[in-house]
């Protein structure tokens, strides 16, 4: 939470990791402080409607690569045969890429 005087009003900026920054202006400093505490609590409880970053699954990335990129290459059959064996291996094909 960051509160400052900006053009005669109080501007409050709430920044939390992996969430977009949210700012709002108020007439009084106490209103800004109350809003920032409430907003931080909402974000931390994930009730703010702001979703955390969702990473795509390896399965989705691999199939999109094969369909959109590899299909236009000369070595498309080789690349697809190298990617799809991961589906049946001990490695998790349904893991998010982080």
Residues 59 and 94 in one domain: yes
- The DSSP bridge pattern shows strands 2-6 and 9-14 to be antiparallel
Separation of alpha carbons 22 and 36, rounded Å: 9
Check whether residue 8 and residue 35 sit in a common domain. Answer: yes
Inside any domain, residue 49: no
For the stretch 34-52, pLDDT in tens is 999 999 888 887 765 555 6
74, HSE (Cβ side, Cα atoms, 13 Å) = 0
Structural domain that includes position 17: 2-44
> What pLDDT is recorded for position 1?
82
Structure tokens of 56? 């795509």
Confidence of residue 98 (pLDDT cuts 50, 70, 90): low
Residues 90 and 63 in one domain: yes
Q: Note whether 36 and 71 are same-domain residues.
A: no
Question: Three-state SS for 72?
Answer: helix
- In total, how many domains does the chain have? 2
How many C-beta atoms surround the C-beta of residue 96 within 10 A?
13
Contact 39, 69 (CB under 8 A): no
| Cα distance between residue 6 and residue 25, in whole Å | 8
User: Does residue 94 lie within any of the structural domains?
Assistant: yes
Is the predicted pLDDT of residue 63 greater than 60, yes or no? yes
The pLDDT, as a whole number, for residue 13 is 93
Can you give the pTM of this predicted structure?
Answer: 0.47
Q: What proportion of the chain, given as a percentage, has pLDDT over 90?
A: 29
Do residues 98 and 61 share a domain? yes
Do residues 33 and 64 share a domain?
no
Residue 74 maps to a domain: yes
The more confidently predicted of residues 28 and 19 is 28
Between residues 31 and 42, the one the model is more confident about: 31
Question: What is the structure's pLDDT at 4?
Answer: 92
25 and 58, same domain (yes or no): no
């Amino acid at each position: 939470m960051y509160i400052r005087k900006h053009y005669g009003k109080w501007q409050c900026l709430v920044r939390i990791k992996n969430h977009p920054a949210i700012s709002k202006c108020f007439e009084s400093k106490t209103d800004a402080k109350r809003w920032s505490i409430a907003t931080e609590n909402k974000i931390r409880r994930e009730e703010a409607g702001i979703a955390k970053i969702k990473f795509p699954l390896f399965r989705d990335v691999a199939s999109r690569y094969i369909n959109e990129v590899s299909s236009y290459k000369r070595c498309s059959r080789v690349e697809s045969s190298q990617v799809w064996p991961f589906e049946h291996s001990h490695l998790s094909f349904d893991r998010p890429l982080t």
